[in-house]
Amino acid sequence: MQGFCIFAVYYLFLNLVPALLPKLILPTAYLPSVEYFALIITGTSVTIEAFESYPKQTCRNRCYIATANNIMSLSVPLTKTDGNNTHTGRMGISYTEHWQRNHWRTIESAYRNSAWFIHYEDDLKRVFFEKYPTLIDMNEALIMQLARSMNIEVTLRKTNNWNRHVDDAIDLRNALDASTPIFPDDFTLFPPYFQNFADRYGFQPNLSIVDLLFNSGPEAKEYLKTLGEKLMKRL
């Protein structure tokens, strides 16, 4: 009977933990940063903003990776489905340029010699080269594939209307950037892991999640878990 009670309490705790964690509202993100990924795997409720007026030059369509020529940004070209009034959830992707081929060549050049690139390359490449109706659809598909590669469960919801102020969630829609972390004064949150070009440029924290995945492989999951716990305590 005592064992059953302990099990019942433990089961109740596991089911209450997500409800006790603060909710997060985030921007959509293209091959998001390590920090972004750490937040979405914490077990809290995550909502992606789809109805905002689309802001330019952000993590929504831009990521950063480490290359032989130092940090490089990759930016997805977009189309405004509804003209200047197009909100984020309706932003289309331009396929008139060969940006997928160019981005993948850059990623491959940067990480081909990484220990784990070959293990995750095919699955990510298959999703990467699909054609998507909107930016937010592509970003979600890539996030889900990256999560599967790390054996992580991720649930993302989208907003169904626009609210400037969100009272029941931590609003990080404008706090998460493609390169600058939420707490730029505390890079100790990001313990160094092996990077291909660290001998030239030193450790570069908070790059795209692909940098962590290709360099750390299965260890990426624990890295993200630890970072996510630190971030949630600071928010």
Q: Tell me the mean pLDDT per 10 residues along the chain, length 235.
A: 48 47 92 96 93 94 96 97 93 96 98 97 98 98 98 94 90 87 87 95 96 98 96 91
Query: 192 in a domain, yes or no?
Result: yes
| Cα(203)–Cα(196) distance, integer angstroms | 9
Query: Is 60 within 8 Å of 135 (Cβ atoms)?
Result: yes
Structure tokens of 219?
A: 């260890």
CA-based R_g, the chain, Å: 18
| Cβ neighbours for 225, distance < 8 A, ≥ 6 positions apart | 38, 41
pLDDT for residue 126:
98
Q: Is residue 54 in a domain?
A: yes
Number of Cβ within 10 Å of residue 42's Cβ equals: 21
**pLDDT of 179:** 75
Residue 9 lies in a domain: no
Domain count, the chain: 1
11 in any annotated domain: no
* Confidence at residue 21, expressed as pLDDT on a 0 to 100 scale: 67
In a domain, 147, yes or no: yes
> Which pLDDT score, from 0 to 100, does residue 2 have?
54
In a domain, residue 110? The reply is yes
Contact 61, 80 (CB under 8 A): no
- Structural domain includes residue 83: yes
121: containing domain: 27-234
pTM of the model: 0.90
